[in-house]
Amino acid sequence: MQDRELYQEILGLKSPWSVSQVALDLEQEQVDVFVEHPTGTKFCCPECSESLPCYDHTPERQWRHLDTCQLKTILHASIPRVHCPEHGVKQVQVPWAEKGSRFTILFERFAIQVLLKTQNVKGAMSILRTKWDQTWSIVERAVARGKARKEAKAMPRLGIDEKAFLKGQNYITLVYDLDNSTVEAISDGNDADSGIACLSQLSDVQIQSVEAIAMDMSGAYVKAAKQVIPLAENKIVHDRFHVMQMATKAVDKVRHGEHRQLMNDGDDRLSKTKYIWLTSFENLSEKQQTVFEATYDLQLQTGKAWAYKEMLRDLWSQTSAASATTYFNDWYRRVIHTKLKPMKTVARSIKERLPNVVSYCTHQITNAVAEGMNSKIMSIKRRVGGFRNRQNFKTAIFFYGGGLSLDPQ
Ligand SMILES: [Zn+2]
């Protein structure tokens, strides 16, 4: 009798539901709690809430509940069905679990907390004593719930970026809300169609509210944005880190070419200097700075390319798009008259997209959120042991990075 009252309290059961039996299985370290309702109880149709007499019951079902006294706790009940004149025979909604779940609401809530805190599905499995499929079903249901609940909200600043799925091949495209640092949409691939598919998943409210879009300089996402976002041309901001990365790569190309030429003449002055040209001066160690200064003083092409790259950095500290344009044009004139082919290529591609580079000065956005999310995703991927399944990978991104309201009820 006392057991039954205790479990009634633990499970938070209210009328008409009560505990009819508690069975302890010490060998299995499990306690089975049987729940029932009095005969003659009326239940609501899940569609229209009309109060109806019980029609029949489903066979007995089980739900895993939070452990009690370190024992796996299993709730058993047959779910009543009603015969609604309008909706037919329907299974009623039980108060302790969501439809289709094998867990009680309290267990799911706890499991979601454990999964979020550990960021590690396997670790969560050992704490929760659940199997992979069971644990993953909680994740999937939480994401579906969160997406269904999501309210239409404005998203003035968004970012679109690619992410490799399975080493270097097989990309996915992600759209981020830059103000809330959340992933809003995911699609397969990284071409223009992928971009369109991804942006099209946004709600009308989101699409109409966009003021600025951060992206790299690849044509694919430019094309996609123009197709989906009204007046996108005026809203695109090419991510400054991507642009600087292009310039840094160009410096490396110059070094590579020059080094090869020098070595032909037995000149090894650029040997082992790759790293120092790729790093910002202030990030070099004291010893590296000495090497850098000595090499820079040699007046090699690589040093010149590096200096132009550093000059380009100041483009983003200009106070307006107009002054940034002036600054760039001056930089461009200097670079274009050099013999630094890779730098000239970068200069030309920036010039081509200049309004969408200097628009940074107006909107001040970057895709740094995407970079942050990347490392989060990488660590999840590592801890879960990789996501062979693409759908699971997307679900995990939404679970950990979607900013969704995941809890049941
Ligand atoms: Zn009904």
Q: How many CA atoms lie within 13 A of 169 on its CB side?
A: 1
Q: Which domain holds residue 217?
A: 157-236+368-401
Task: Determine, yes or no, domain membership for 117.
Answer: no
Q: How far is the CA of 82 from the centre of ligand 1 (A)?
A: 9
Are both 216 and 294 inside the same structural domain?
no
Which residues, including other chains, have CB under 8 Å from residue 18's CB and lie 6 or more apart? 4, 8, 35, 36, 37
Q: How far is the CA of 55 from the centre of ligand 1 (A)?
A: 13
Q: How far is the CA of 92 from the centre of ligand 1 (A)?
A: 10
Task: Determine, yes or no, domain membership for 112.
Answer: no
Q: Is 376 exposed, middle or buried (0-12, 13-18, 19+ CB in 10 A)?
A: middle
The residue among 60, 32, 59, 63 whose CA lies nearest residue 134 is 63
Q: What is the CATH number of the domain that holds 211?
A: 3.30.420.10
Task: Determine, yes or no, domain membership for 245.
Answer: yes
Cα separation of 54 and 339, whole Å? 87
> Distances from the Cα of 197 to the Cαs of 99, 103, 173, 226, in angstroms?
31, 35, 9, 13
How many domains are contained in the chain? 3
Are both 189 and 208 inside the same structural domain?
yes
Are both 292 and 328 inside the same structural domain?
yes
Look up residue 399 and give its two tokens: 């679970």
Are both 260 and 319 inside the same structural domain?
yes
Longest dimension (CA), the chain: 100
Are both 247 and 353 inside the same structural domain?
yes
Q: How far is the CA of 86 from the centre of ligand 1 (A)?
A: 5
Cα separation of 228 and 344, whole Å? 32
Look up residue 125 and give its two tokens: 């499995």
- pLDDT at position 166 is 66
Is the backbone peptide bond immediately before 16 cis, with ω within 30 degrees of 0?
A: yes
Q: How far is the CA of 102 from the centre of ligand 1 (A)?
A: 25
Are both 21 and 42 inside the same structural domain?
yes
Which of 62, 96, 130 finishes a domain? Answer: 96
Task: Determine how many CB atoms are found less than 10 A away from the CB of residue 314.
Answer: 11
Task: Determine, yes or no, domain membership for 103.
Answer: no
Cα separation of 198 and 195, whole Å? 5
The residue among 220, 119, 82, 104 whose CA lies nearest residue 160 is 220
Task: Determine, yes or no, domain membership for 58.
Answer: yes
Cα separation of 340 and 248, whole Å? 13
Q: How far is the CA of 41 from the centre of ligand 1 (A)?
A: 17
Chunked mean pLDDT (size 10), the chain, 409 residues: 82 91 92 94 94 95 93 96 95 93 94 90 89 91 94 93 76 93 94 97 96 94 97 95 94 94 90 85 85 83 92 94 97 96 97 96 90 76 64 88 91
Are both 245 and 358 inside the same structural domain?
yes
Q: How far is the CA of 272 from the centre of ligand 1 (A)?
A: 77
The three state secondary structure string of the chain is CHHHHHHHHHHCCCCCCEEEEEEEECCCCEEEEEEECCCCCEEECCCCCCEEEEEEECCCEEEEEEEECCEEEEEEECCEEEEECCCEEEECCCCCCCCCCCECHHHHHHHHHHHHHHCCHHHHHHHHCCCHHHHHHHHHHHHHHHHHHCCCCCCCEEEEEEEECCCCCCEEEEEEECCCCEEEEEEECCCHHHHHHHHCCCCHHHHHHCCEEEECCCHHHHHHHHHHCCCHHHCEEECHHHHHHHHHHHHHHHHHHHHHHHHHCCCCCCCCCHHHHHCCHHHCCHHHHHHHHHHHCCCCHHHHHHHHHHHHHHHHHCCCHHHHHHHHHHHHHHHHCCCCHHHHHHHHHHHHCHHHHHCHHHHCCCCHHHHHHHHHHHHHHHHHCCCCCHHHHHHHHHHHHCCCCCCCC
Q: How far is the CA of 284 from the centre of ligand 1 (A)?
A: 71
Cα separation of 43 and 56, whole Å? 11
Q: How far is the CA of 95 from the centre of ligand 1 (A)?
A: 18
Indicate the pTM of the whole model: 0.85
Task: Determine, yes or no, domain membership for 311.
Answer: yes
Are both 258 and 219 inside the same structural domain?
no
The string over 283-311, giving b where at least 16 C-beta atoms fall within 10 Å of a residue's C-beta and e elsewhere, is: ebeeeeeeebeebbeeebbbbbbbebbee
Which residues are bridge partners to 186 per DSSP? Answer: 174
Q: How far is the CA of 206 from the centre of ligand 1 (A)?
A: 35
Are both 224 and 250 inside the same structural domain?
no
Q: How far is the CA of 176 from the centre of ligand 1 (A)?
A: 41
Are both 309 and 392 inside the same structural domain?
no
Q: How far is the CA of 219 from the centre of ligand 1 (A)?
A: 53
Task: Determine, yes or no, domain membership for 175.
Answer: yes
Q: Is 337 exposed, middle or buried (0-12, 13-18, 19+ CB in 10 A)?
A: exposed
Q: How far is the CA of 83 from the centre of ligand 1 (A)?
A: 8
Phi/psi region, residue 323 (left: phi>0; alpha: psi -120 to 50; beta: rest), is: alpha
Q: Is 59 exposed, middle or buried (0-12, 13-18, 19+ CB in 10 A)?
A: exposed
Q: How far is the CA of 105 from the centre of ligand 1 (A)?
A: 24
- pLDDT at position 318 is 95
Which residues, including other chains, have CB under 8 Å from residue 298's CB and lie 6 or more apart? 269
Q: How far is the CA of 149 from the centre of ligand 1 (A)?
A: 23
Q: Output the CA torsion sign for 337, 340, 341, 342.
A: negative
Q: How far is the CA of 409 from the centre of ligand 1 (A)?
A: 22
Task: Determine, yes or no, domain membership for 49.
Answer: yes
